[in-house]
Amino acid sequence: MQVTKEKKATGPKEFTKLGQGLKINSQALNDKSRTILTDELVHLLVDLHHQLQPERIALLRDRKKRQLNFDEGKVPDYLNKNNEAVVSDWKVASLPADLKKRRVEITGPVNSTKMVINMLSRNDDGVLADMAMLDFEDSMKPSWQNIVDGFHNVIGAARGDLRFEQAGKKGKPSKVYQLDADDMSGVMVRCRGLHLNEENVTVDGEPISAGLFDLAVNFYHTAQVLVDRGRTPKYYVPKCESYQEARWWNGLFGILEDKLGFETGTLRATFLIETLTAAFQIEEILYEIRNHAAGLNVGRWDKIFSDIKVLRYHNDRVMPDRGTIDMTKPWMDQYAKRLIKICHSRGAMAIGGMSAFTPGKNPELRKEQTAKVLADKKNEHDIGHDGCWVSHPYFITSALQCFPEENQLDRTLPKQDKYPDLLPQGGGDVTEAGLRTNIRVGIAYMQGWNQDIGCVAWDNLMEDLATLEISRAQIWQWIHHKVKMKDGRIISRELVDSFFDEELNKILDEVEETMKGLPLSTIQKVKEQFSQARKDVGAVFLLENLPNFFNEALNEANINH
């Protein structure tokens, strides 16, 4: 388990006008954010909002309409197999040199300067990841302070001069963390998804798109710096659900390049294929972004969440314990191979997903966890991926061993069916242990969230928003369908609520043990944090209906976030 720091309280929002109809939460306007939001950038953000917000709203409406159809019994399917994206002869724009080797990408929240430096630097074995994906999304809580810190860290990473000094404890000297501009991983940035708003920034009284905001601010401040250093401005785009949404993002890329004086294709993006509907439109999505494409990524954890969410009311597709859903499941294996086949046939990189294991604190556990990562990464390599993700510098060395080639673009999987059955199958055991795991993840994640943290190391796994969403959706699905556990008991709201209390008590005992020897007031404070987290996440998990995303669930449960 991991104990997280306490957050600072925030008050009600009052907005200050910066110009051209753009306003910012007055509490968010400080010296650090002023250096980011220059007058020129403000004008750019307003223009982008005016051009792209109406279509974004329409796309979000389309999401709701599709989900209503799925709720009524329909299932996602392939598009017309004679469409232009499928039958025409095209390739993505030629990949820049610094995007042809992506064997291992390490990911983590962008707001921690120390963590960003560690991701971009050599690990204890002296080994670099090829890329570091600096995350504004699933692994970072998007508080304003975290976002602004993230912008500054991206700027420092782009320049290669990011520095952090950690104060020494008990008379020990401070420790300095410093990037080496000539010896660092490639910088990639993941912005937030289409559905999220940046509530601290409004245009004409309307919150600006969070993803647009992240992408525009980062590109504005770092694109020229990167180009001058011979590097490509590289981004990840999450949560895409359709080729129409990919077209919207591609439009944003083009407008940014045009307004800031860059050639088309200067900006390169990797889209995460992590929704069930997107899995059926991989070729169409890649076609829409072909002039800006770097590749596609198998976002396994969000995909599992999407499978559950999209088919929430289908009683024949109820998912078993989350720990049993891995890349060997037929629908997961086929979606990964379909992505590889399409990407490589069109000249794009196909990146594998995240192993959520953490290293552990003793040699025996580290050996066990490393073996799991090696098995996962070997499978990804063997089916044709060009690279993979890891969550901790410790695993970079092992993962690299699994990818000896620079890439596998020449592997086009000629025998792989391009149109396999991608619909997840129900069945399999639902156990008390699986239910309790979801509950523990919920409490642990919420304790971190309440302290301004978006991912936590817990029970030897790295839990972020995606895995929290799986736990939330599974519990709702099991309650809704009155699922029987392996021992015959039916999962009900009352049973889940009682398990929440029992798991909280276990966690409180673990806090006592882990923090033994610290002041009682410190221990009590952490125990109160977990108690509050149990209350908050219990309300979220036990909502009568299933909100589509965690932020919506927090609003519906009236939890201040």
pLDDT at 433: 97
Q: What average pLDDT score do residues 313-342 get?
A: 96
Do 169 and 230 have their domain in common?
A: yes
pLDDT above 70: residue 437: yes
Q: Does 357 share its domain with 455?
A: no
Tell which residue, 251, 261, 259, 239, has the closest CA to residue 190.
239
Give the CA count within 13 Å in the CB-facing half-sphere of 99. 28
Share of the chain above pLDDT 70, in %: 98
Same domain, 113 and 208: yes
For residue 176, which amino acid is it? V
Tell me, what's the pLDDT at 61?
A: 98
Task: List, for residues 371-405, the tens digit of each pLDDT value.
Answer: 999 999 999 999 999 999 999 999 999 999 999 99
Percent of the chain with pLDDT over 90: 95
Catalytic residue among 346, 464, 472, 536: 464
Provide the H-helix boundaries in 312-464.
330-345, 363-383, 396-401, 432-450
Domain check: are 377 and 285 in the same one? yes
Predicted pLDDT of residue 134? 98
pLDDT for res 9: 45
- Indicate whether 426 belongs to any domain: no
Nearest residue to 466 (alpha-carbon basis) of 345, 297, 335, 334: 297
Q: pLDDT tens digits, residue range 240-299?
A: 999 999 999 999 999 999 999 999 999 999 999 999 999 999 999 999 999 999 999 999
**Band of pLDDT at residue 475, cut at 50, 70 and 90:** very high
Q: What pLDDT score does 4 carry?
A: 52
Residue 143: name the closest of 420, 401, 453 by CA: 453
pLDDT band at 58 (very low <50, low <70, confident <90, very high): very high
Q: Is there a domain that residue 22 lies in?
A: no
Average the pLDDT over 48-64 and give the result: 98
Residue 421 maps to a domain: no
481-484, long-range: CB within 8 Å, 24+ apart, which pairs?
481/315, 481/318, 483/318, 483/430, 484/430
Mean per-residue pLDDT, 466-483: 98
By mean pLDDT, which of 15-19, 162-166, 167-171, 343-347 is the weakest? 167-171
Could you tell me if 331 and 446 lie in one domain?
no
Query: Is residue 12 a part of any domain in this protein?
Result: no
* Average pLDDT of the residues in 136-147: 97
Question: Tens digits of per-residue pLDDT, 212-234?
Answer: 999 999 999 999 999 999 999 99
SS3 at position 352: strand
Confidence of residue 35 (pLDDT cuts 50, 70, 90): very high
Write down the catalytic residue from 102, 103, 190, 192. 190
- DSSP H helix total and E strand total for the chain: 18, 16
Domain of 438, CATH number, reads 1.20.1220.12
Q: Does residue 416 fall inside a structural domain?
A: no
**Contacts of 121 by beta carbon, 8 Å cutoff, 6+ apart:** 128, 177, 179, 180, 183, 184, 185
C-beta of residue 188 within 8 angstroms of C-beta of residue 236: yes
Domain co-membership, 439 together with 394 = no
Same domain, 97 and 236: yes
In a domain, 196, yes or no: yes
Quote the pLDDT of residue 169: 82
Domain hosting 513: range is: 432-556
128, pLDDT greater than 50: yes
End-to-end alpha carbon distance in the chain: 23
Conformational region of residue 170, where left means phi above 0, alpha means psi within -120 to 50, and beta covers everything else: left
Say yes or no to pLDDT of 138 above 80. yes
Q: Which two tokens stand for residue 76?
A: 């996602």
What does pLDDT average to over the chain? 95
- Please check the confidence at residue 178 and state whether its pLDDT lies above 60: yes
Question: Is residue 410 assigned to a domain?
Answer: no
* pLDDT at residue 361 in the model: 87
325-334 average pLDDT score:
96
Q: What is the pLDDT of residue 120?
A: 98
Are residue 175 and residue 101 in the same domain, yes or no? yes
Q: What are residue 197's DSSP bridge partners?
A: 209
Per-position DSSP letters for 152-221, written without gaps between them: HHHHHHHHT--EEEEPPSTTPPPEEEE--TTS-PEEEEE---TT-EEEEEEETTEEEEHHHHHHHHHHHH
pLDDT band at 342 (very low <50, low <70, confident <90, very high): very high
The verdict on 360 and 436 lying in the same domain is no
Residue 2: pLDDT over 60: no
Predicted confidence (pLDDT) per residue in 400-424, tens digit:
999 999 999 999 999 999 999 999 9
Q: From the CA atom positions of the chain, what is the Rg in Å?
A: 23
Q: Is the pLDDT of residue 11 over 90?
A: no
Asked whether residue 186 falls in the same domain as residue 312, the answer is yes
Q: Is the pTM of this model over 0.85?
A: yes
Q: Taking 90 as the threshold, does the pLDDT of residue 303 lie above it?
A: yes
Q: Pick the last residue of a domain from 380, 401, 422.
A: 401
Q: What is the CATH number of the domain that holds 242?
A: 3.20.20.360
Identify whether residues 65 and 207 lie together within a single domain. Answer: yes
**Count of residues in the chain:** 561
Q: Report the pLDDT value the prediction gives residue 8, as an integer from 0 to 100.
A: 44
**CA distances in angstroms from 500 to 195, 334, 507, listed in the order given:** 30, 36, 10
- Tell me, yes or no, whether 499 and 369 share the same domain: no
Give the count of domains, the chain: 2
For CA atoms 309, 311, 314, 318, the dihedral sign is negative
DSSP code at position 111: S
pLDDT at residue 187 in the model: 98
Let me know if 464 is a catalytic residue.
Answer: yes
pLDDT of res. 530: 97
> Is 303 part of any domain?
yes
**Residue 5 confidence (pLDDT):** 47
Q: What is the pLDDT of residue 6?
A: 47
In the predicted model, what is the mean pLDDT of residues 174-198?
97
C-alpha to C-alpha distances, 240 to 109, 111, 159, 233, 259, nearest whole angstrom: 20, 24, 30, 20, 24
- pLDDT at residue 12 in the model: 61
Query: Residue 171 pLDDT more than 80?
Result: no
